[in-house]
Structure 1
Amino acid sequence: MGMLKSVRITVAALLIGVLPGCAADQKPPPVMAPCDATLDAVLGAWARAGFSGSVAVSTGGRFDCLAGYGVADDATGTRNTVDTVFSIGSVSKAFTATAILRLADAGKLSLDDRAGKLVPAVTGPVAEATVRHLLLHTSGVGGSIGADDQPLDRAGAIAAINRLEQAFPPGTDDAYSNAGYTLLAIIIDTVSGMSYRDYMLQHVLTLPGGVVGGFWHGRPAAAGPVAAGYLDDGEPGRSNDFAGPYWTTEGSGSMAMTTKELATWTHALFTGELAGLAGEPGHTVGEGRSHTLGGWVAFDASVYGRPIVAAAGGGGDVGHNTAVVWIPGRDQVIALSSNRAVLTAEELLAATVPALVAGEPLPVPTAPAGGGDPAALAGKYSLETGGSFEVTIVDGRARIEASGPDAVSVLFPPRGRFSARDLRGHEQRVLGVLAGRTREGREEREAVADRFGPVTAVTGGGTVVADGEMRTYVTMTTRDGPRLGWYAVDEHSTIEGAELPAGPPSLTLVPVGTGRYRPDDPAGTGPEVTLEFDGGRVTVSGPAGTATARRPG
């Protein structure tokens, strides 16, 4: 499951200054509207660069822009439209938090009630955490309780939560927690007098204008045509036909809807139709950001010049990504969803932020120079230090994979807030977890052994920054052979994400001159490297210097 990483919500007052907005005190009825020509031209350019999904923008409850771009399903050729349904991943947490706030308003619970008091079956370390701690990711218990497609009933979810270790006493630190929001869903299921899904339908998803959205798996399902998702390698993601039970993602990432529905619901939430306190800062996490009681991230005016709140998340192995922003000073909502990893909704937002904050025209992606003969690049290139690069041709374009920690560090140098030291520290934590130094690590090894046979060795394969998080690649030697995969852990060594097996880290290349290539990265969020091919060798240049690899012979 994709998770909201606070650092990745680098979204500002998107599209402000290019939208035909209306005054905040006007409340016209919502209407459907195409994007104006200027905005549509910009979004069209980003669509040609790889964005595939839907966009919804409203001001004062009136839609200024509703549009779809790209293909929703390659098998049928169906296009994305304003009615296309996407998994919203961790944005689901905002809906669960709203349910909790509504129950608190109704006197069914207090935000200072302990989890163990509300659900007596919860007896593990998290039992002492309060509802407030769970909402703000300060319970001390991070991570998840299983794979997204792992059938798990309510009792099994409670048992899994009871087994989780606590990294710190409640309220003394923060650790992003899917498990904490699953526990909130169990609390809703316990104290509301109805099932979690029934409560969500009746008290959170139902607005005066009707029901918005639903669930990705099972019922009540979101109404409308569903987009297929496509992963980093272009392969289809998991569909929405998982038979359940669904408690591995319930509360933390189980919902789906259109961007129009998400924008409608967000406006209703922040204009007081659903719950109070939704956007109020609750726990500061640094750099002008705070987790809120409503499951959002609040940015103070020091970040973008005006306060905003935002939520974002991916559907993990579904291949969807969603981001939504509320700008209170303008009564404005921006919601985007995407169904391809080439250019996600979050990346599109991140690419527009500098211009938006500066009041400049929205940027458009730069087209590659073209030319060159990608087929001539194909082959394996070896570094003297032991690692290698493999160049293949996919759909007429060069794609390069890195194998070995030295090759990975060259092709994927640290960038942004992550330093080389951060990447080394992350790799050490991952290897420690997989060596069985934590209960979660021991359980992960057992799960791998159940699938592939006993694990006899784990070796590090380098660390990259992807989707706003550090991912360390490892090779697990098992009875059935070596298995490459990656793990993401937090500073407390709690597993936040994983994929096993997985392909090597790779980049698609575009020509920028004779023999020179750069990553196909229109949003500017990828590695800052240039590759120069000359005969049987490739020289990779980046912030830390250059390295040359050669083909045999």
Structure 2
Amino acid sequence: MTRLLLGVAVAAAVLLAACTSDVESPAAPSPSASSACDPQLDAALDAWAEAGFSGAVSVTAAGEPVCQAGYGSADRAAERPNTADTVFAIGSVTKAFTAAAVLDLADDGRLALDDRAGDHLPELRGPAADATLRQLLVHTSGLNGSAGADHQPLSRDDALAAVGAMQPAFPPGTDYLYTNAGYTLLALVVEEVTGSYREHAATRILRGLPSAGFWDGSPAARGDRAVGYLDDGSTGAAGDFAGPHWALDGNGALAMSMPDLAAWTRSLFTGGVVSDEATRTIATPQVDLGDGAAETPGWVAYDAAAFGVPFLASAGGGGDVGHEAMVVWIPDGERVLAVASNGPEVTAEELVEAIGPALAAGEPIPAPDVQGGTVDPAVAAAIVGDYRLDTGGAYLVSDDDGLRIAARGADAVRALFPPADPGAVREHERAVAALLAGQTDAGREELAALDDDFGPIGGFEPAGTVLADGELRTYVTLDTGDGPLLAWYALNAEGGVDGVDVGADPPSVPLAPDGDGFRPSDPAGAGPDVAVTFGDDTVTVGDVTARRG
């Protein structure tokens, strides 16, 4: 599972500070209350829900609820709304729980943070065996990537073999690289020490949380679950994957309601989950990430000098469930914000980034940027179709559930998704090219996996790069024996695969009227800013014109 951009947590912190400031004595609803929210905050969030935010929010101060509410739809087909009690997959926020499990076992003397992973897992081979638990907790082990793909069967033995075969990006303890594999390994250590990572998590770390459990398998999260919706409108993984689950256990497998996530966060930092000494370890900055941020076990800490108030944050999403989640802890006033979303229109990350700056300045929460008007059905019907660029790319305009434009080919993608940092895009594209040329260990593993699934890959054609879910995704057209196949790859700084989708749809955006033309519908202002206009059998995207094919 992918951890989202650290900048999200900054906006979340100021949101929490602001929304508690006007509430002197928040009433405490019963634990099963579906909605209880400060009226001003609720009205602002309603506007964002109308603009596309779908999810749940829980805000507490000193353990008392300020806002616990759901917005949008938990299941569009069944017309079931989200409530405060709706259950969401929390993605990489799971790492905070795994870190707590490790520190709890250290409290009990059943392991020590400076133990080597190989001390507890004698079957583990390769450089990973020498990484300490402390290094794994703060991503300084040198491990690069994930042990397996989300929702693909991965047994304990296969997970150990995959991690053991990894070549380190650097010697343990000498640098920093965020990795899912490190937390898979920590969960395997917990399994070895306790007999069952999942049972230990459920009975020791998740105790007292009515909804908390695993998205897939058992002990399962309890309660009504939100259906996740992906960028292409399809539904995400529903939680019925039979396993074995070691690709996600430890790093992205948990699910719960937002009130339970908020309650657990306060309990963690006030001595209710681990010892006071372990709590201090979690809260103490350990690896400098720059700009006032530092890695801690399962969290990122932000100092007061950089942002005005110290806080810790954990966030996750970007997988195939279609959910995002984040949680923020502010020690001052014991304040917590937990947010989840189950759709791409306005994600939890985008929501807090959009409204955070105004709250930090003491200004009213800004309304979403929603272009006015609806599209005349006759106009939509006239412009639906495929448009070809002279340079080979194409735009595909559809009106299945609202007007949408997709880009196919590097030239078309570049115009629809103009890069904010062209240098970073070029570097990412070079890294993906090296991966698919088999020039790296990760690349050789990926080519072997593609060969197993599709037969030998004859080559690939670059198909553009977009920024989505806080990560660069480079699209390529793979030459398979069954014909061309579109895929995208997201790589980390060391060339490891953070995300991949083989058989992907081309990147697309919804369109909304804007004067005489259209612009991408983007209430939070997080997507591309480009004009789209239609003429007689033409579409112009920015300064690039394509003709109906």
TM-score normalised by L of structure 2: 0.94
Q: Which residue of 2 aligns with 1:498?
A: 500
The CA deviation at 1:370 is 1.4
Aligned equivalents of 1:412, 1:366: Cα separation in 2: 19
The CA deviation at 1:96 is 0.2
CA contact (8 A) 1:464 1:472 kept: yes
The CA deviation at 1:3 is 3.1
Aligned equivalents of 2:257, 2:523: Cα separation in 1: 25
Q: Which residue of 1 aligns with 2:474?
A: 472
CA contact (8 A) 1:288 1:299 kept: yes
| Residues 446-525 of structure 1 aligned to structure 2 (within 5 Å) | 446-514=448-516, 516-525=517-526
Q: 1:27 to 1:308 in 2, by over 3 A?
A: farther
Summarize deviations over 1:455-509 as a string: whole Å, max 9, x none. Answer: 1111211111111111100111111111101000011110010011100111111
Q: 1:377 to 1:305 in 2, by over 3 A?
A: farther
Aligned equivalents of 2:102, 2:408: Cα separation in 1: 46
Aligned equivalents of 2:256, 2:318: Cα separation in 1: 12
Q: Which residue of 2 aligns with 1:228?
A: 227
Aligned equivalents of 1:28, 1:375: Cα separation in 2: 52
The CA deviation at 1:377 is 2.2
Aligned equivalents of 1:63, 1:435: Cα separation in 2: 53
The CA deviation at 1:163 is 1.1
Q: Which residue of 1 aligns with 2:322?
A: 319
Q: Does 1:388 align with 2:394?
A: yes
The CA deviation at 1:23 is 7.9
Runs (5+) with no aligned partner, structure 1: none
Summarize deviations over 1:245-282 as a string: whole Å, max 9, x none. Answer: 11111100010000010001011011121231222211
The CA deviation at 1:296 is 0.8
Give the % identical residues: 50
Aligned equivalents of 2:87, 2:392: Cα separation in 1: 46
Counterpart selection for 1:401 from 384, 406, 412:
406
The CA deviation at 1:44 is 0.8
Q: Which residue of 2 aligns with 1:65?
A: 67
Summarize deviations over 1:211-239 as a string: whole Å, max 9, x none. Answer: 55011111111111111111101111111
Query: Over aligned residues, Cα RMSD in angstroms?
Result: 2.0
Aligned equivalents of 1:508, 1:368: Cα separation in 2: 12
CA contact (8 A) 1:212 1:265 kept: no
User: What letter is aligned with 2:252?
Assistant: G
CA contact (8 A) 2:473 2:489 kept: yes
Q: Which residue of 2 aligns with 1:2?
A: 2
Q: Which residue of 1 aligns with 2:528?
A: 527
| Residues 41-80 of structure 1 aligned to structure 2 (within 5 Å) | 41-80=43-82
Q: Does 1:108 align with 2:110?
A: yes
TM-score normalised by L of structure 1: 0.93
CA contact (8 A) 2:18 2:360 kept: no
Q: Which residue of 2 aligns with 1:250?
A: 249
Q: Which residue of 1 aligns with 2:271?
A: 272
| Residues 14-25 of structure 1 aligned to structure 2 (within 5 Å) | 14-19=15-20
Secondary structure class of the residue paired with 2:366: coil
CA contact (8 A) 1:22 1:60 kept: no
CA contact (8 A) 2:27 2:65 kept: no
Aligned equivalents of 2:317, 2:473: Cα separation in 1: 16
User: What letter is aligned with 1:408?
Assistant: V
Q: Does 1:412 align with 2:417?
A: yes
Q: How many residues align?
A: 538
Aligned equivalents of 2:74, 2:29: Cα separation in 1: 29
CA contact (8 A) 1:70 1:80 kept: yes
Summarize deviations over 1:318-353 as a string: whole Å, max 9, x none. Answer: 111111111111311111111111211111111111
The CA deviation at 1:437 is 1.4
Q: Which residue of 1 aligns with 2:121?
A: 119
User: What letter is aligned with 1:3?
Assistant: R
Aligned equivalents of 1:16, 1:465: Cα separation in 2: 29
Counterpart selection for 2:308 from 294, 305, 308:
305
Summarize deviations over 1:111-168 as a string: whole Å, max 9, x none. Answer: 2221112222211111111111111111111211111111122111111111112111
Secondary structure class of the residue paired with 2:452: helix
